[in-house]
């Protein structure tokens, strides 16, 4: 299946604060859309941040910051192992989003499909992890940068085949 990398709206990485004197640090992040097909329904794994983290209790896709010398795919493999205890095969890029958070932090997010992994999902750092059907995603309180992608997935604007 062909999938173009989509640059999604979000706030395009623009904000008034970026015109000011304080330089923003741009965090390069990769995140996984871990897919499974259950009884003919396509589901994706979503994760809730802990109460003591910044942006507490918001939902997100598992992943994290790309360290120097890592590719986005390598970073995601490492993060999925650290956060969920799985060894994942990173699939195609699905979307890229630039977003400026109000607290001054800017993120550049690359999302990849993940259809195969070894090991059982083990929640190591999140409040909760859950499989969600695409249509149900907008009912979760997602991080602001993810909202455009969540809507596109729910409305079928991004075609993604399920996983194992
Ligand atoms: N993993 C992940 N991060 C996301 C998503 N959407 C989104 O805005 N982010 C942001 C939240 C964080 O600022 C950053 C990911 O950083 P991280 O996972 O390494 O660390 P963190 O949440 O503790 O953030 P930080 O305080 O260390 O900056 O990307 C998403 O769907 N998944």
Q: What is the pLDDT of residues 38-83, one digit of tens each?
A: 888 999 999 999 999 999 999 999 999 999 999 999 999 999 999 9
Select from 34, 63, 124 the residue to mutate for testing ligand 1; criterion: most ligand atoms less than 8 Å from CB: 63
Ligand 1 pocket residue status of 101, Cβ below 6 Å: no
Residue holding tokens 């890029």? 93
ipTM for the predicted complex: 0.93
Q: How confident is the model at residue 4 (pLDDT cuts 50, 70, 90)?
A: low
Ligand 1 pocket residue status of 23, Cβ below 6 Å: no
pLDDT of residue 15: 53
Q: What is the pLDDT of residues 103-149, one digit of tens each?
A: 889 999 999 999 999 999 999 999 999 999 999 999 999 999 999 99
40 C-alpha to ligand 1 centroid (Å) = 31
Residue located nearest, by CA, to atom 18 of ligand 1: 64
Residue-wise DSSP of 30-93: EEEEEEEEETTEEEEEEEE--TTSTTTT-EE-SEEEPPTT--HHHHHHHHHHHHH--EEEEEEE
- Give which of 112, 131, 135, 114 is closest to 123, Cα–Cα: 131
Please indicate, yes or no, if residue 70 is contained in any of the structural domains. yes
Residue located nearest, by CA, to atom 24 of ligand 1: 54
Q: Which two tokens stand for residue 65?
A: 């910051």
Specify which residues 90 forms β-bridges with: 114
Ligand 1 pocket residue status of 95, Cβ below 6 Å: no
- At 145, give phi and psi (nearest 5°): -65, -20
The answer on pLDDT for 1 being more than 50 is no
Please indicate, yes or no, if residue 134 is contained in any of the structural domains. yes
Please indicate, yes or no, if residue 163 is contained in any of the structural domains. no
Please indicate, yes or no, if residue 162 is contained in any of the structural domains. no
44 and 111 Cβ atoms separated by less than 8 Å:
no
Please indicate, yes or no, if residue 148 is contained in any of the structural domains. yes
Task: Give the ligand 1 atom nearest the CA of 146.
Answer: 6
For 125, 141, 163, the CA distances from 82, given in Å and listed in that order, are 9, 24, 21
Ligand 1 pocket residue status of 60, Cβ below 6 Å: yes
* Structural domain boundaries, residue 73: 6-154
Please indicate, yes or no, if residue 160 is contained in any of the structural domains. no
Our count of domains for the chain comes to: 1
State the CATH number of the domain containing residue 106: 3.90.79.10
Q: How many residues does the chain have?
A: 164
Q: Cα–Cα distance between 120 and 127 in angstroms, integer?
A: 17
Please indicate, yes or no, if residue 116 is contained in any of the structural domains. yes
Please indicate, yes or no, if residue 51 is contained in any of the structural domains. yes
């Amino acid at each position: 299946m062909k999938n173009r990398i989509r640059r999604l709206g979000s706030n395009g990485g623009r904000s008034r604060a970026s015109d000011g004197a304080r330089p923003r640090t741009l965090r390069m992040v990769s995140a996984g859309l871990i897919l499974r097909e259950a009884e003919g329904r396509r589901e994706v794994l979503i994760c809730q941040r802990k109460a003591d983290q910044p942006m507490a209790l918001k939902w997100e896709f598992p992943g994290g910051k790309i360290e120097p010398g890592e590719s986005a795919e390598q970073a995601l493999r490492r993060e999925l192992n650290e956060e969920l205890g799985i060894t994942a095969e990173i699939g195609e890029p699905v979307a890229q989003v630039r977003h400026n958070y109000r607290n001054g932090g800017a993120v550049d997010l690359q999302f990849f499909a993940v259809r195969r992994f070894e090991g059982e999902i083990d929640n190591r750092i999140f409040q909760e992890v859950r499989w969600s059907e695409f249509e149900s995603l907008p009912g979760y309180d997602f991080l602001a940068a993810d909202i455009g992608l969540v809507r596109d997935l729910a409305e079928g604007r991004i075609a993604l085949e399920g996983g194992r």
